[in-house]
Structure 1
Amino acid sequence: MPDLLLELFSEEIPARMQRRAAEDLKKLITGGLVDAGLTYEGAREFATPRRLALSITGLAASSPDISEERKGPRVGAPEKALQGFLRGAGLSSIEEATVQTDPKKGDFYVAIINKPGRKAEDIIAELVPDVVRKFPWPKSQKWGQAGEGALRWVRPLHSILCTLSVEGEGSEVVPFTVESIESSDKTQGHRFHGKEDFAVKRFDDYVAGLKERKVVLDLDERKEIILNDAKTLAFAQGLELVEDMGLLEEVGGLVEWPVVLMGEFEQAFLDMPDEVIQTSIREHQKCFVLKDAKTGKLANKFVLVSNLIAPDDGKTIVAGNQKVVRARLSDAKFFWETDLKTGLETRLYKLDSMVFHEKLGTQSERVERLIALSEALAPTVGADKALAARAAKLAKADLVTDMVFEFTELQGLMGRYYALALNEDPKVADAIEMHYKPQGPSDVVPTEPVSISVALADKLDLLTGFWAIDEKPTGSKDPFALRRAALGVIRILVDNDIRLPLQAIFATARPGFEQGDDLLSFFADRLSVYLRDKGARHDLLDAVFALGGQDDIVMIAKRVEALGSFLASDDGANLLAGYRRAANILRAEEKKSGTSFEGVIEGAHLHEPEEVALASAIEKARIAAADAVEAEDFAGAMSALATLRAPVDAFFEKVLVNDERAEVRENRLKMLTQIRATTRTVADFSKIAG
């Protein structure tokens, strides 16, 4: 079985696009081969700055012959129907069809269409050009000939290598042309260390030939080289690498032959926050920072990755990078010192001209809302009201600092640094940074009360505001990260065990808010996702929400957790079965009679020991469960329900509900109604699946 090797060689592909592009190439080619009837054993995709490559092993030599039977019209059908059948089946006359007989429908025509298999090289020669022309780059430009037929590619495409090889039988080029580019068995190595063409027979030759010419094909291998060499270089200096996986992925996509070097900058720059230094060096020069192995403090050295083996061992490259790093850090130091002199509060007027959203006003207007809402939330979360208001007032001030204007990802963090430097209360400074959090499922959650109050205010103002102007998430689109905001509220409340009635706080956040039920439903969906990630079942959440009036996230989560534990027990599973039996009987009887069976159980109509015992158990369980729920002891409420398990089982085993005596029958139906009502003390069991 042959192996396919495909390489698309171009000018530099942006690092952020490489891995996805390689995956797309694999998906499109393998998908096209399978659709054409070619199976294969394995496929691997690769990317370097100048090439996408794909290796497919164990490819079928040809697609199988296919015989297809296509049913046509009845014998004697109108000529128009016959002609349509002939065209669709590819027949020249009706005599080429066969006639089959159906006992019910009579005789009808059938065409037997034989499709011979195709050689793999023919399929590939047709597939690859189509994939290249339609390749889904996020951004692309026209190259080659002018006009509508011009090839669109991310950068100019120079060559295409495409070979089929069989072990021990050599290899051959799969011939095709994309615009003016003809496929071949040749490629190039490194731009400076191996730019001459060389021929390739199969994948092993390709990888070895590239490595000889200073190209490491595998992105993950390049990343590993960079990481290991950087750690080794740092260790030799008594330092540790500050790992940055996002930067490592990007740098791995910038080089084909990674050469790790070390540079340094002036000690005076270390007066700035570590995050400023790291961000400046990472964003401007794509370099890694280092820290002292003993103190954990940032060192005045950095690691850079070159794509070149320099004759002077990289001295010129290091000097050039040092020069740029010094210039960028000088800019950052200027921003830092200017911001400190200017302060935060004196910049607040600039928020007047910063639009938050055209329908929701400026950032200044938003800050006023955050102050009011943070003050309202403060008593609930145990925060000092004045500190909460102060933190809310300064929360967005760093958006108009020079540093955050340069590095937007430092918003909040720089506000904390500036607040501490200007002698604000540490709780205020902490809240300025933490009010944006959590920003994802693995991000930290605020725990200090002042931070909690401002973080909740920020997210609830965001949600109620966009709900009020009908800018809600739709499908996969969520441009204002409202799902993240709702999940952030949920995590803050649950992790800190904070009781907060959402409907009331919606109205506080935005007076006159009329979309409370819809927004609460949105929270229910997010809570469902959150609890599912923790192992809870979505139907249990439905069972709790079905009770109505449920807008306390912490209590809902506790109910769901207790309900899940209860149903996982034998008592819970058996009581659920008993509930369903009772509910099914009631449903049928209520439909038949057109009435419900509410009311007090009549002691005079209790005759069997089992129904006497059940009536007593229901009353005790109802009171105990209600008291437990009132005390927010949901585990206790479940324990109260568990006492019903044995008497319910005994009742259904020994007692006939549909007794001939009407008053006895009605009394027993009232008992089943009481069972249903008692379970609703903790959840609507009708919503529970399984």
Structure 2
Amino acid sequence: MAELLVELFSEEIPARMQARAAEDLKRLVTEGLKTANLSFDKAEAYATPRRLALVVDGLPAQQPDLTEEKKGPKYGAPAKAIQGFMKANGIKSLDQEAELRSTDKGDFYFVVRHIAGRPSAEVLPEILTSAIWDLPWPKSMRWGEDNRLAWVRPLHSVLAIFDGKGLPFPLQRGIGKAAIAVDSTVGTSPAHGITSTTKSRGHRFLAPDAFEVSGFADYRAKLAEAKVVLDPAERRATIAAEAAALADKAGVALKEDAGLLDEVTGLVEWPQVLIGRIDAGFMDLPAEVLSTSMRAHQKYFSTEKPDGSLADRFLVVANMEAPEGSERARTIVAGNERVLRARLADARFFWDQDRQQPLSARVPALKDIVFHARLGTVAEKVSRLESLAAEISNYVPGADRDEARSAARLAKADLVTGMVGEFPELQGVMGRYYALNDGEAPAVAEAVAEHYAPLGPNDACPSAPVSVCVALADKIDTLVGFWMIDEKPTGSKDPYALRRAALGVIRLVVENKLRLPLTKVFAAAQGEYAGLSAPDVAGDLLDFFGERLKVVLRDQGVRHDLITAVMARGGEDDLVRLLARVEALGSFLDSDDGANLLVAYRRAANIVRIEEKKDKRAYEGAVEAGALAQEEEKTLFSHLSDAAKGAQSALGSEDFTGAMAAMARLRQPVDAFFDEVTVNAEDASLRENRLQLLSAIGATLAEVADFSKIEG
């Protein structure tokens, strides 16, 4: 068994694209191998800023031989059918080149071909060429004389080695039997003059010369000698370990940032972590400004003091060999400190300029920012938020109505500040600082900072009353607006992040245990869209929330069918109450009484459905108490009435466990009914009344949930 090694060497590949590109290369090549009937043991892909590499182990020397059979027309078939079969299969004599076989449907002609496997070295160039040309990139470019190959950056060389030997092929469409020419008007010269070789190159500056490679082990070892760490996981671990060690040595702690660590891993081939210092004159800037400036522009890691506040040290990862304390290291650190001073000087300017004007004075400028072409400007959104936040404050314990209105008015004002213009990720955060600077109430300032939250499942959910009001208002206004213009999520497309907004509302309501009537709030939000005519969206939007709620609870192990069963009853828009009902229903069904009653309900429902289909009518009328003949059906009728009243009373006081207990008392009379009563009696009126009684079982259970929606 042999090994295949491929390396695509190019200009710098954007860090965010490397991992996906490596996996796509692996996928395309392995799919090609499977299509070509070439088995393999394993495949591993790697990426650095300047290369994608793939090693495939356990490949055979050649394809297996194949036998291909094609069934033809029946013996004695019309001449036209036989001629068509011969032409399609390229045979001239049916008697000599086809076999006549007997089957259970008669005698048929078969064409049997034995196809010899081709050497793997002949097949692999076709597979690799297709994979390189078909590699998908989020963004790509064309270059060179023919402009045919679309790749993320100019491709310099292709290394291809199979079984310890070079696998030469030109990088062009049209080579081999399986490849297809893209443009027949273009010549057959390799794309940009690239033909695969057995050579690779090391670090751009530290070891730029080419070197020969004989296999993956040799390739990886020589790359290490040439100052390139091939495995991104190894580079990542090195950066993390060195950064933590340097920070500890300086008496600070590395601020964890997995996203930045991933990005920096994709920027360097030979990582060297160094530590620098932030000028003391900038340390009075907000910590978020310092860390964001370092992260966004310079890719520096922040550090923290033991109390969790931002420290004046930063960590930079160089793509260079520069041992700590060396002249080169000092030069690199000094250069990065100089660049950071310039960046922070800009931030200082924005900070000073922004505070010269109250945040409230910036609100009118929001009319120049379009929220959505059909939903108005951000200023109009803010006006809606003021009213909606005040309305929601009625349902949030401890929320001050005036503070909720003020926070909603200021929530978007920092969008027109210089700092947020430079660092958009600080929207909300800077609003908080500016609001406090203006003397606004702390609750108002905090709500400005938190109203975008939660942005995702791992984001903290606001709990301060005013923050909750504004966060809910912001998300509900967005959802209602887009529902009104029929811009709903479809399939995997959700350009306005409406699913995320709905999940945010659910978390805010559930985690803060808010008794929020969503239907009423949706209606209030829709009423704020003056001049925009649309049908009532509350019902459809509530159904959407039900689907999102299933996603949330599924992750918590709650059965989605129980949510459906409770919501199908209708009229439930209080998520806290709904979840309590779902929990009570789940506990009930886990009990013997609940499980057996569910079985009995299904039996009753099946009988009614069958008879309704047969009789072509529905059995939903009232049961005639006087027509009940046997004691068991009289008892069941009495218990159904008692259970309905008991459930209604318990539900009225939100005693959901009590409502389930009322239903549990139906088990014995239902079992007795099925044991002793014949539903399809000969007397037509008696049969009809008993079918009405069975139908009443489902109607009674519907007081707590639609049992027809329960699975299992």
The TM-score with structure 2 as length reference comes to 0.92
**What is the rounded CA distance, in whole Å, between the counterparts of 1:413 and 1:636 in structure 2?**
47
2:596 counterpart of 1:574: yes
| 1:111 alignment partner in structure 2 | 111
Q: Please name the residue that 2:497 is paired with.
A: 481
Write the distance in 1 (CA, Å) between the matches of 2:710 and 2:222.
62
From the superposition, tell whether residues 103 and 264 of structure 1 become closer, same or farther in structure 2 (CA, over 3 Å): closer
User: Secondary structure in 1 aligned to 2:270?
Assistant: coil
CA distance in 1, matches of 2:87, 2:15: 50
The 3-state SS of whatever aligns with 1:689 is coil
1:596 pairs with 2:597: no
Matched, 1:380 2:381: no
- Whether 1:173 and 2:166 are equivalent positions in the alignment is yes
Other-structure match for 1:151: 149
Deviation at residue 661 of structure 1 after TM alignment? 4.8
1:428 counterpart residue number: 444
Distance 1:591 1:59 in 2: 62
How far 1:483 sits from its partner (Å)?
Answer: 0.8
Q: Which amino acid aligns with 2:347?
A: A
Question: Match for 1:250: what amino acid?
Answer: E
Contact 2:232 2:266 in 1 (8 A): yes
SS across alignment from 2:165:
strand
The residue number in structure 2 matching 1:268 is: 281
Number of the residue aligned with 1:142: 142
Instruction: Output aligned runs, 1:60-209, within 5 Å.
Output: 60-75=60-75, 77=77, 81-94=81-94, 95-102=96-103, 104=105, 106-147=106-147, 150-165=148-163, 171-178=164-171, 179=190, 180-209=193-222
Moved more, 185-194 or 642-651: 642-651
The structure 2 residue matched to 1:356, chosen from 371, 381, 386, is 371
- Deviation at 1:636? 1.9
Post-superposition Cα deviations, 1:560-606, rounded to whole Å, max 9, x if no partner, equal: 22222222222211110000111122223334443425324526734
Q: Which amino acid letter does the alignment assign opposite residue 100 of structure 2?
A: V
Contact 2:625–2:634 under 8 Å retained in 1: no
- Offset of 1:314 from its aligned partner? 1.1
1:626 match: secondary structure: helix
Instruction: Compute the displacement of 1:176 (Å).
Output: 1.1
Number of residue pairs aligned between Structure 1 and Structure 2: 680
Residues 158, 582 of structure 1: alpha-carbon distance in 2 compared, 3 angstrom cutoff: same
Taking only aligned residues, the RMSD between alpha carbons, in angstroms, comes to 1.9
SS of the residue aligned with 2:196?
Answer: strand
What amino acid sits opposite 2:168 in the alignment? P
Task: Verify: 1:302 aligned to 2:317, yes or no.
Answer: no
Candidates 536, 540, 558, aligned match of 1:518: 540
Provide the rounded CA distance (Å) in 2 between the counterparts of 1:500 and 1:309.
Answer: 60
Partner AA of 1:669 in structure 2: L
Amino acid at match of 2:25: L
SS at match of 1:617: helix
Contact 2:382–2:412 (8 Å) recurs in 1: yes
What is the deviation of 1:193? 1.9
Contact 2:628 2:634 in 1 (8 A): no
2:414 touches 2:430 (CA, 8 Å); kept in 1?
Answer: yes
Q: How do 1:478-557 and structure 2 match up within 5 A?
A: 478-511=494-527, 513-514=534-535, 515-557=537-579
SS at 2:506 equivalent: helix
User: SS in structure 2 opposite 1:182?
Assistant: coil
Q: Is the 8 A contact 1:597 1:666 kept in 2?
A: no
How has the CA–CA distance of structure 1 residues 592 and 324 changed in structure 2, closer, same or farther, with 3 Å as cutoff?
same
* Aligned-pair CA distance for 1:83: 4.4
Distance 1:273 1:550 in 2: 45
1:659–1:108 CA distance, 2 compared to 1 (3 A): closer
Give the structure 2 partner of residue 634 of structure 1. 656
> Could you report, residue by residue, the CA deviation over 1:338-395 in whole angstroms, capped at 9, with x for unpaired residues?
1112121111121111111111111111111111111111112232111111001001
- Matched residue SS, 1:295: coil
Q: Match of 1:682?
A: 704
Q: Which residue of 1 aligns with 2:294?
A: 281
The aligned counterpart of 2:21 is 21
Partner Cα separation in structure 1 for residue 40 and residue 445 of structure 2: 59
Moved more, 180-189 or 241-250: 180-189
Please name the residue that 1:317 is paired with.
Answer: 332
Question: What TM-score, normalized by structure 1, do the two folds share?
Answer: 0.95
- Is contact 1:262–1:302 with CA below 8 Å preserved after alignment? yes
Does the C-alpha gap of structure 1 residues 411 and 162 become closer, same or farther in structure 2, counting only changes over 3 Å? same
**Kept after mapping to 2: 8 A contact 1:464/1:513:** no
Distance (whole Å) between structure 2 residues aligned to residue 119 and residue 645 of structure 1: 72
The equivalent position to 1:644 in structure 2, one of 661, 666, 685, is 666
* 1:485-527 Cα distance to aligned partner (Å, 9 max, x none): 1111111111122222222222211226513332222222212
Who is 2:484 aligned against?
Answer: 468
After superposition, what is the alpha-carbon deviation per residue over 1:143-176, rounded to whole angstroms, capped at 9, x for unaligned? 33325xx3222222122111123xxxxx111221
Cα 1:297/1:516, change in 2 over 3 Å: closer
Q: Distance in 1 between matches of 2:357 and 2:228?
A: 51
Match of 1:405 in 2: 421
* Unaligned ranges ≥5, structure 1: 166-170
Q: CA–CA distance in 1 between the matches of 2:200 and 2:87?
A: 46
Q: Provide the C-alpha distance between the structure 2 equivalents of 1:573 and 1:81, rounded to a whole number of angstroms.
A: 62
Cα distance in 2, alignment partners of residues 625 and 159 from structure 1: 75
Cα 1:336/1:83, change in 2 over 3 Å: farther
Give the conservation status (yes or no) of the 8 Å contact 2:627–2:686: no
Match of 1:620?
A: 642
Q: Distance in 1 between matches of 2:551 and 2:687?
A: 44
The CA deviation string for residues 623-643 of structure 1, in whole angstroms up to 9 with x for no partner, is: 211111111222221122112
Deviations 1:169-223 (A, max 9, x none): xx11122111222222211111122222222222111111111111110111101
Q: Whole-Å Cα distance in 2 between the matches of residues 364 and 16 of structure 1?
A: 35
Unaligned runs of 5+ in 2: 172-189, 528-532
Give the fraction of aligned pairs with identical amino acids, expressed as a percent. Answer: 54
Tell me, what secondary structure is at the counterpart of 1:67?
strand
Instruction: Indicate if the aligned counterparts of 1:601 and 1:615 stay in contact, CA closer than 8 A.
Output: no
1:605 to 594, 608, 628: 628
629-638 vs 236-245, which moves further: 629-638
Q: 1:412 to 1:80 in 2, by over 3 A?
A: farther
Instruction: Give the deviation of 1:611 after TM superposition.
Output: 3.7
Question: Is 1:46 aligned to 2:61, yes or no?
Answer: no
Deviation at 1:9, TM superposition (A): 1.0
Distance 2:501 2:279 in 1: 41
**Which digits, 9 at most, give the CA deviation of each residue in 1:66-109, with x for residues without a partner?**
112111233455555444423433434434122234554x5432
1:259 and 2:281 are equivalent in the alignment:
no
Corresponding position of 2:175: none
Q: Distance in 2 between matches of 1:369 and 1:389?
A: 10
Higher mean displacement: 522-531 or 203-212: 522-531
Aligned-partner SS, 1:183: coil
**How far 1:268 sits from its partner (Å)?**
2.1
Shift of 1:113: 2.4
What is the alpha-carbon distance in structure 2 between the residues aligned to residue 396 and residue 356 of structure 1?
A: 11
What's the CA shift for 1:663?
A: 5.4
Could you say if the C-alpha distance between residues 70 and 102 of structure 1 is closer, same or farther in structure 2, counting changes exceeding 3 Å? same
For residues 270-322 of structure 1, the C-alpha deviation after alignment (integer angstroms, 9 at most, x for no partner) is 11111110000111111111112x32221111100111114624111111111
